[in-house]
Amino acid sequence: MADCCAPTKSSKTTFDVAVIGAGSAGFSAAITAAEQGANVALIGHGTIGGTCVNVGCVPSKTMIRAAEALHGARAADRFPGLTGEAQVNDWRRLSAAKDDLVSTLRQKKYANLLPEYDTVAYLEGEARLNGAGVIVNGTAIAAGKTIIATGGRPAVTPIPGIDSVHYLTSTTLLELEDLPESLIVIGGGYIGAELAQMMARMGVRVTVVCRSRLLPQIEPEVSAALAEVFRNEGITLHCGIAYDACREDETGVTVCVREEGRLIELKAERLLVATGRTPNTEALGLADAGIEQDSRGAIVIDDRMRTSMSGVYAAGDVTDRDQFVYMAAYGAKLAALNALNGDSLAYDNSAMPWVVFTDPQVAGVGLTEAAAKAAGHTVKTSVLLLDAVPRALAARDTRGLIKLVADASTDRLLGGQILAPEGADSIQTLAMALKFGMTTKALGETIFPYLTTVEGLKLAAQTFDKDVAKLSCCAG
């Protein structure tokens, strides 16, 4: 591990660009700047690679996929004549395989890349801004421009008593040596939802508590349908609650919540706190540098990735922008290009697809119905249940729906969401439709391959004007 992130041997203290943070955003910024011919100081602190490869996307998604394998075997009886069983027989071996994947990708996609870029010097240490650049391990590093990409970490909601509980985060949950018998998950966002279902399928008795509803930012029809899936899988949901207190004793953890005016005590062996992310900004000296932050402590940036301090840019989870690894890399690339070429490029997330890796998967792009109305559009919508999609019928898995949002006066698509087992691989088609300004009519007339989940987008588009139940196969 020490060898993979050893500092580059360099006596240079003057660079064109200093990039603070060696995760996905930091590497994207450094590589982009190097490709522009710049001399770059890439400053990392801790394990190289950042959140995604080490404690986020990679380890969680491989474990979620393992849990899907368990569920797939157990759900085989949806086909007449089939039965199936599956169970976790060696949690530690499964976890070790996850760790091996993480270390392999960290080495291949981060550490091994450094020698490929002669103009990038990797410096290990905690960085702090000063007037002319940054200070690393007490040494001043002069840089023409600076890009902050220090990422974030799990946030902890301020529940009375939480500081006295040995709670888990999204990071430490994936480091457990043994599976608990029961688990309370605080938070119904995408992290809480993904990990709650994954643990339930591993055989843990799971209870989810959240202030609003499951995945509160998504369309209510999609949220309600996913909540039904969770309940059918044995996950207990307490939504719309207020947190009262929590405590821990030798029998486990107790979380007290108020639900519809009643005080309820929930008990489990372990507690997972999954209530969002906190930006890593405390050690940067932002206040002294005059860099504006929002109420969460995130760095405020404009559409050119500029902070409130001239010559300083920021990207990724440390900012007030989209908290997705691919958007972090995209924003960091823009930051590097703008820093070196005159701030000509604007951040554009209007056709940004996103995915929640529950099962069924939740995926979306563009505006929700509520957001479209708030933006002043006269809105029309279509909702197509998956039992109208031939692929879902053939797979005997009709959990889910597709919702499309369009402008009623122009017929132009504004957004949509998919709840389907293959929703993640279908959403990019809708993203392309939005990017190029397609109408619902044009989407409904587009040729799609039969017996695919993505064909549901065509059917959902046709649903604006007709009853697709009255069409023969492929007749639309």
Whether the domain at 3-49+110-154+278-341 and the domain at 354-466 fall into the same CATH topology: no
Nearest to 384, CA basis, from 444, 447, 472: 444
Does the structure show a pLDDT above 50 at 73? yes
| pLDDT tier, 168 (very low <50, low <70, confident <90, very high otherwise) | very high
pLDDT of residue 7 exceeding 60 = no
Answer whether CATH 3.50.50.60 is correct for domain 162-275: yes
Q: How confident is the model at residue 456 (pLDDT cuts 50, 70, 90)?
A: very high
Which residues belong to the annotated binding site for FAD? 61, 317
Contacts of 291 (CB under 8 A, 6+ apart): 129, 284, 299, 307, 308, 309, 312
Q: Is pLDDT larger for residue 336 or for residue 290?
A: 336
CB-CB contact of 273 with 157 (8 Å)? yes
- The CATH class of 3-49+110-154+278-341 is alpha beta
Q: pLDDT tens digit string along 250-262?
A: 999 999 999 999 9
Is 90 exceeded by the pLDDT of residue 398?
yes
Higher pLDDT pick, 239 / 3? 239
| Interval 279-300 mean pLDDT | 94
- Domain boundaries along the sequence of the chain: 3-49+110-154+278-341, 162-275, 354-466
Question: What pLDDT, on the 0 to 100 scale, is given for residue 130?
Answer: 83
**For residues 20 and 284, is the Cβ–Cβ distance under 8 A?**
yes
245, 161 in Cβ contact below 8 A? Answer: yes
- Known binding-site positions for NAD(+): 187-194, 276
Q: Is it true that domain 354-466 has CATH number 3.30.390.30?
A: yes
- pLDDT band of residue 9 (cuts 50, 70, 90) is very low
* Cis-peptide into 353, omega within 30 deg: no
Closest CA to 61 of 357, 265, 343: 357
With beta carbons less than 8 A apart as the criterion, state whether 218 and 364 touch. Answer: yes
φ, ψ dihedrals at 380, nearest 5°: -130, 150
Percent of the chain at pLDDT above 90?
93
Percent above pLDDT 70 for the chain: 97
Q: Is the pLDDT of residue 1 over 80?
A: no
Residue range 70-95: mean pLDDT, rounded: 97
Across the strands, what pairs with 115? none
Task: Assign 26 to helix, strand or coil.
Answer: helix
pLDDT tens digits along 402-452: 999 999 999 999 999 999 999 999 999 999 999 999 999 999 999 999 999
